[in-house]
Amino acid sequence: MSEPVLSLKDFRVSFNTMNGTVRAVRGIDIDVERGEMVGIVGESGSGKSVTFLGMMGLLPRSATIEGSAVLDGTELVGMKPKQFMAVRGKKIAMIFQDPLSALNPVHKIGSQIVEMIRSHEKITKAAAARRAVELLDIVGIPQPDQRAVQYPHEFSGGMRQRVMIAMAIANEPDVLIADEPTTALDVTVQAQILEVLQRIQKDLNTSIVLITHDLGVVARVVDRVQVMYAGRAVERAQVDDLFGESSHPYTRGLLKSLPSQDKDRLVPIPGSPPNMLEPPPGCSFAPRCDFAVEACTQTLPELVPFGRGETACIRAGELVGMMDHV
Amino acid sequence: MTEALTNIDPSLVVNPDGSSVRGDREGLTKSRLSPRQMAVKRYLHHKGAVVCTVIMAAMVLFVVLAPITARYGVNERIFDATADQPNSFLSPRAEAWLGTDAIGRDLYSRLIYGLRVSLVIGLFAACFATILGITAGSIAGFRGGRFDDILMRVTDIFLAFPFLVALLVVRNFLGEVSFLEPIVGEKTSLRFIIILFTIFGWMGVARLVRSQILALKEREFIEAARALGASNTRIISRHLIPNAIGPILVALTTAVVAAVIAESTLAFFGFGPDAGSGNTSLGNLVGDSKSAVQAGQWWLVLFPSGLLVLVAMCINFIGDGLRDATDPKLLQDGGN
């Protein structure tokens, strides 16, 4: 793989609020290769959604965005709203958690897709309508020609998420950001939606960024994972390495709190994430970490190569093997 | 698809309350109604609205076919007065079903012509005011910030003025400015009255649309549309306004009533359309009846005022029916 299609460098997002500046994302680097599926994992408030909303210019004006986000050679940070509109939907598209409320209730499914196509491409209505039916077929909606003339309320949640995906890929974007696309769906439907995403990744060679808090979802479909905590990346690895031998205590904590058959009880991570108004100067996980030492609270750790991945834990070397016994 | 339903033993497919079991299963046996058909069904469910629609349609028909339905011309006397047969202030009779006025003109025919003018004013003024209100309200609600603040303060100022006084002041001011005359026309022309009512009619709609947009723009499908590259104009015109169309339609009907009544009010005080030339409006007819009250010429009071009330009531009922029709929360089953 050569040039990454999407590359974030030292990407920062902060919000000016009445209480002060909330630094939601504090320097994130992400490279997404063409045709790759990358998982972004973290708990609520870790900045995973904000990173990509900020990158796409979808945050309110109170947000300050710094750093660099290059999409296929185009710098997105500092782009004017007008230019953003041309990029969104054409080069990069995003789908959201709740498919039930993501479609406009007053228009037919087909015409919503047609509208989406025609806003970026100059083609006739009839051609766009044919394309809309094709897209519905691609995302696995049965009887797509009949379903296209129905309204959103006639679709189930999973079907609506498929429609959202169809709209998102309508103009064959380079990158598709899926922000918790399966969270609102039940497990069997989750699997189907992930299959649809995988098929799109393979067939259309679309890069997909899958934002989720569900490690199970990550394990199933993505190639690489980046774990986020308090607006920073704490670990970056191939998905198999992460589940085999994670290097960061936070990732370990996440894995331990995951239910599985050979576990009697789940071990939650004690405490709660830091206040982002005044994040701790050192490792932001240190206050909750069983292995924290004095040095952890002094300086903000950067991602450094470790094993086959990268980690932001300064004690990663010492901790290998130790953490399993906790 | 409905054939399949009839082939099945009805006892198997009908719930105790009579609703179909199988019909509820998606897309299998029951051909479902489109939202538009459901809206029509909900509208027809509102008996008052249906009756008023029929009455209103009849009135519109009478007005459109005025040359046929009216018995006399607008300024035509029913007959020339002679010494032993006066033509003025005749009570209802065969020659003049609803009686005659001070100079012997047929009230029935004049009501038709008057209603025509009133409806034209009402419809046009309401449409223009609604369009202006939608534009201003949606931009204010969508953009927020400074523009929103200024617009809402302007609205407040407009609403704070005593309506009639402001209307008369603006009327006289606009009418006196000579360079505006090519645009707004004569003080008593229909165009002038419509423009005047548009200026005073848009604030209510603007407020309504703004509040709707404020609520709607936080909905997730707006963010989703934006994430897929929709422009602001398209979000407003394709996503926000269609979702607010119910309240807008209702506001439109109330605006029609408001304009008809405002016209009557102006005319009652002698500032109405074409007050001098004999071309009449409902307001002029009501205004003419001022002296008739004391003189005991009841027909001159009853019929114009009654027609005004009837028109206002019918349009309000239609608005009520439209509210029912556009609110899917009422009669979820489409009125079955």
pLDDT of residue B11: 43
**Cβ contacts of A119 on chain B, cutoff 8 Å:** 229-231, 234
Among A49, A71, A106, most B C-beta atoms within 10 A, so best to mutate, is A106
Residue B332 pLDDT exceeds 90:
no
Taking CA atoms, A263 is separated from A219, A230, A248, B252, in Å, by 18, 28, 21, 64
Where is pLDDT greater, at B179 or B322? Answer: B322
**Which pLDDT tens digit goes with each residue over B175-209?**
788 787 777 778 778 888 899 899 888 988 999 99
Distance between CA atoms of residues B128 and B130, nearest Å:
5
Interface of A with B (CB under 8 A): 56, 58, 85-90, 93-96, 98, 101-107, 115-116, 119-120, 151, 154, 164, 167-168, 170-171, 177
Chain A, nearest residue to B36 by Cα: A106
CB contact (8 A) between residue B227 and residue A87: no
* pTM of the predicted protein model: 0.81
Phi, psi of B299 (to 5 degrees): -65, -35
pLDDT of residue B60: 94
Are A170 and A117 in contact by the 8 Å Cβ rule? The answer is: yes
Task: For residue A240, give both structure tokens.
Answer: 């198999």
Distance between CA atoms of residues B105 and B87, nearest Å:
8
CB contact (8 A) between residue B224 and residue A102: yes
**Cβ contacts of B223 on chain A, cutoff 8 Å:** 58, 96
Task: For residue A270, give both structure tokens.
Answer: 């004690």
Question: ipTM for the complex?
Answer: 0.82
Kindly state the average pLDDT of the residues B211-223: 92
Chain B nearest CA to A319, separation (Å): 42
CB contact (8 A) between residue A119 and residue B27: no
Distance between CA atoms of residues B124 and A276, nearest Å:
56
Residue owning tokens 């936070």: A250
Residues of chain A predicted below pLDDT 50: 1, 325-326
pLDDT of residue B330: 62
- B226 at A interface, C-beta within 8 A: yes
According to DSSP, the β-strands at A37-41 and A207-212 are: parallel
CB contact (8 A) between residue A105 and residue B221: yes
Chain A, nearest residue to B241 by Cα: A106
| Angle CA A129–A132–A137, to nearest 5 | 135
**Cβ contacts of B34 on chain A, cutoff 8 Å:** 151
**Cβ contacts of B231 on chain A, cutoff 8 Å:** 85, 119
Kindly state the average pLDDT of the residues B39-60: 93
Lowest mean pLDDT among A168-172, B55-59, B220-224, B271-275: B271-275
**Cβ contacts of B230 on chain A, cutoff 8 Å:** 85, 89, 116, 119
What is the total residue count of chain A?
326
In the chain, the amino acid numbered B61 is L
Residue A121, SS3? coil
Phi, psi of A94 (to 5 degrees): -135, 140
Residue A14, SS3? strand
Are A67 and A7 in contact by the 8 Å Cβ rule? The answer is: no
Are A280 and A205 in contact by the 8 Å Cβ rule? The answer is: no
Compute the Cα dihedral for B24, B27, B33, B39 and give only its sign: positive
CB contact (8 A) between residue B227 and residue A98: no
Phi, psi of A163 (to 5 degrees): -60, -45
**Cβ contacts of A108 on chain B, cutoff 8 Å:** none
According to DSSP, the β-strands at A232-238 and A63-71 are: unpaired
Number of other CB atoms surrounding residue B13 within 10 Å: 16
CB contact (8 A) between residue A90 and residue B229: yes
> Could you say which DSSP state residue B274 is in?
T
* Least CB–CB distance from B229: residue in A85, A107, A164: A85
Ramachandran category for residue A293: left, alpha or beta (phi over 0 → left; psi -120 to 50 → alpha): beta
The neighbouring-strand residues paired with A12 are A26, A66
In terms of Cβ atoms closer than 10 Å to its own Cβ (0-12, 13-18, 19+), residue B211 is middle
CB contact (8 A) between residue A95 and residue B227: yes
pLDDT of residue B2: 43
Q: Shortest CA distance to A119 belongs to which of B228, B142, B169?
A: B228
The neighbouring-strand residues paired with A6 are A32, A71
Q: Count CA atoms closer than 13 A to B313's CA, side-chain side.
A: 11
Q: Shortest CA distance to A108 belongs to which of A82, A90, A129, A131?
A: A129
- B25 at A interface, C-beta within 8 A: no
- B225 at A interface, C-beta within 8 A: yes
pLDDT of residue A110: 93
Task: For residue A58, give both structure tokens.
Answer: 């979808």
Sheet holding A92-95, edge to edge: A92-95, A175-179, A207-212, A37-41, A224-229, A232-238, A309-311, A304-306
Among B26, B146, B221, most A C-beta atoms within 10 A, so best to mutate, is B221
Number of other CB atoms surrounding residue B185 within 10 Å: 17
Kindly state the average pLDDT of the residues B143-150: 90
**Secondary structure (DSSP) of A162-214:** HHHHHHHTTT--SEEEEESTTTTS-HHHHHHHHHHHHHHHHHS--EEEEEES-
The contacts of residue A182 (CB under 8 Å, 6+ apart) are: A161, A189, A190, A193, A194, A212, A214, A217
Distance between CA atoms of residues A232 and A209, nearest Å:
17
CB contact (8 A) between residue B221 and residue A102: yes
CB contact (8 A) between residue B35 and residue A107: no
* Least CB–CB distance from B220: residue in A88, A90, A96: A96
In terms of Cβ atoms closer than 10 Å to its own Cβ (0-12, 13-18, 19+), residue A41 is buried
**Cβ contacts of B224 on chain A, cutoff 8 Å:** 95-96, 102-103, 164
CB contact (8 A) between residue B229 and residue A106: no
pLDDT of residue A195: 93
CB contact (8 A) between residue B227 and residue A119: no
Which helix (H) or strand (E) segment holds residue A86: the answer is helix A81-87
Chain mean position to CA B180: 28
Q: Given pLDDT bands bounded at 50, 70 and 90, which one contains residue B304? A: very high
Residue B278 pLDDT exceeds 70:
no
In A123-190, beta strands by DSSP E: 175-179
* Least CB–CB distance from A106: residue in B32, B230, B242: B242
Chain A nearest CA to B153, separation (Å): 24
